[in-house]
Amino acid sequence: MLSTNAADLLAQIRVHGAVPRHVAIIMDGNGRWARERRMPRPYGHRSGMRAVREVVEGAVEAGLEVLSLFAFSQENWQRPPAEITALMSLLEEYVAREADELHQRGVRVCALGALERLTPEASAAVARVMAQTAGNDRITLNLFVSYSARAELVRAARLLAEDAAAGRVDASAIDEAAFASRLYTASCPDPDLLIRTSGEQRISNFLLWQLAYAELFISPVLWPDFTRAELYGAIRDFQLRERRFGRVPA
């Protein structure tokens, strides 16, 4: 059931017409949300899973092509073991619980990052949902797990170097398109809009190449409290901006 606020905002978004093709979100503030309730951090992550469900539904309704969620960074492997275990279990639980519904809604799920570091259970769950939803084309849901943008850029450089050494590409012909085609996001348009929750104003090693021209929207809301209406508010704000891509106003 849509809240009145969310329904109004969605109507306004539709009147305007153009929605961002690709929205990326740094889901931040789970730990603080839990601390405010004197609860352990994993409680915040579990509550954050509800917001993930709501935002995915909202993105489908709004007609986005791609939704990218930063679920777990490579730096997050340095968190306490209990928190890492909780996050891996949540990932496993999320895909196991939501897979059928995501599939029915036409969502194609892609997990992107150094997936070889995931627990075998999380890795298997992710592989299953990716295979199940591979043929869907209503929206792509990118789940960035064990992800670092710098590592992704180094990986792309390594792949290009290997192709050049093997004679598959001519080094002097390497251009931006050749580089982008070696990124995890090769098949996706760049994000038009980056949302970060919890008021923090950082990119935190997320999609450093792809965010070159993204509009930034910083929400003060902690991730577990982020609703569909918040997503629609950010999209509405985006629609009111003038994007110039380094050019002068039209």
Catalytic residues: 28, 76
Phi-psi label, residue 108: left if phi above 0, alpha if psi -120 to 50, beta otherwise: beta
Contact region with ligand FPP (CB under 6 A), list: 12-20, 27-35, 161-169, 204-212:
27-35
| Residue 147 touching ligand FPP (CB under 6 A) | no
Complex with ligand FPP: residue 146 or 210, whichever CB lies closer: 146
Contact region with ligand FPP (CB under 6 A), list: 15-23, 26-34, 159-167, 207-215:
26-34
Q: Which of 94, 144, 184, 238 binds ligand FPP (CB under 6 A)?
A: 94
Residue 85 has a CB neighbour count (10 Å cut-off) of 13
Contact region with ligand FPP (CB under 6 A), list: 48-56, 152-160, 183-191, 236-244:
48-56
Burial letters 102-112, b for 16+ CB under 10 A, else e = bbebebbbbbb
| Residue 45 touching ligand FPP (CB under 6 A) | yes
CA angle at residue 4 from 50 to 139, to 5 degrees? 50
Look at residues 142, 144, 138 and name the one whose alpha carbon lies nearest to residue 64: 138
| Residue 6 touching ligand FPP (CB under 6 A) | no
Contact region with ligand FPP (CB under 6 A), list: 11-19, 23-31, 106-114, 173-181:
23-31
| Residue 191 touching ligand FPP (CB under 6 A) | no
Spacing of C-alpha 38 from chain mean position: 28
**Phi then psi dihedrals of residue 88, to 5 deg:** -65, -45
Instruction: Map tokens 């969502």 to a residue.
Output: 107
Measured over the CA atoms of residue 175, residue 181, residue 187 and residue 189, the dihedral's sign is negative
Complex with ligand FPP: residue 49 or 235, whichever CB lies closer: 49
Please, what is the end-to-end C-alpha distance for the chain in angstroms? 40
User: What is the number of the residue whose Cβ is closest to ligand FPP?
Assistant: 31
| Residue 58 touching ligand FPP (CB under 6 A) | no
| Residue 139 touching ligand FPP (CB under 6 A) | no
Cα 86 to Cα 194: distance, rounded to the nearest angstrom: 26
Of residues 61-80, which lie at the interface with ligand FPP (CB under 6 A)?
69, 71, 76
Give contact residues for ligand FPP (rule: CB under 6 A).
27-32, 41, 45, 48-49, 52, 69, 71, 76, 90-91, 94, 143, 198, 223
